[in-house]
Amino acid sequence: MLVTVVDHPVVAAKLTALRDVTTDTPNFRRLVDDLVTLLAYEATATVPVEPVEIDTPIAAMTGVRLTSPPPLVVPILRAGVGMLDGLTRLLPDAEVGFAGLARDERTAEPSWYADRLPEDAAGRSVFVLDPMLATGGTLVAVVEVLLARGAETVTCVCILASPEGIERVHAAFPDDRVSLVVAAVDERLDDRAYIVPGLGDAGDRLFGSISHR
């Protein structure tokens, strides 16, 4: 599995602001959108293209266009939804599926509650969006389904990753069909399986904390 850490001063500066506990929700959303667009340039570097003949105002030439079927973008609910615009801005023709998994706070293992993925993903380049790669359980579960349904390649785009999460994903998918693009790899997971130093709960910071009575 290829892991790409986007080492760029603009990415680092925006990530620093994102981590800051004083950053409010509107600015947090804007920063996530900016960061995903920056990560998307790296994530889409190998998206398949084919030649196409066009006429410019000056001459005929051979250019390229994205191949068919179009890419599939899969945000993992709910925090991944906050990354969707940043990716589809670069791939406006992409189709969108959704994966809903809840993490058990005691075991840190995921369970499915919504599968809005194509039954047949044959030949598709897929981009999975999740701000945090912590234990890796959620990402592994989603990628397993996509590969089982025929996805050609799966690129996971995350803002932060833990070493433990990267190791788990790599162990599950050692070949080059799966890759990971991140803004930073942090130190470790704490005893609650939160990334340290991290940025807190990305879903809560994007959309607010919802209490159930």
CB 84 within 8 A of CB 75: yes
Q: Which two tokens stand for residue 157?
A: 């785009």
Residue 201 designated active-site: yes
Residue 101 has φ and ψ, to the nearest 5°, of: -135, 140
Residue 103 designated active-site: yes
Q: Which of 167, 168, 135, 169 shows the shortest CA–CA distance to 155?
A: 169
Catalytic residue among 89, 107, 115, 116: 107
Measure the CA–CA gap between 140 and 197, rounded to whole angstroms: 23
Q: Which two tokens stand for residue 27?
A: 């600015």
Helix axes 137-148, 163-172, angle to 10 degrees: 20
Residue 25 designated active-site: no
Catalytic residue among 30, 103, 149, 177: 103
Spatial neighbors of 206 by CB under 8 A, at least 6 apart, are 25, 28, 29, 32, 78, 79, 81, 82, 131
CB 121 within 8 A of CB 149: yes
Residues annotated as catalytic (active site), given as ranges: 103, 107, 201, 204
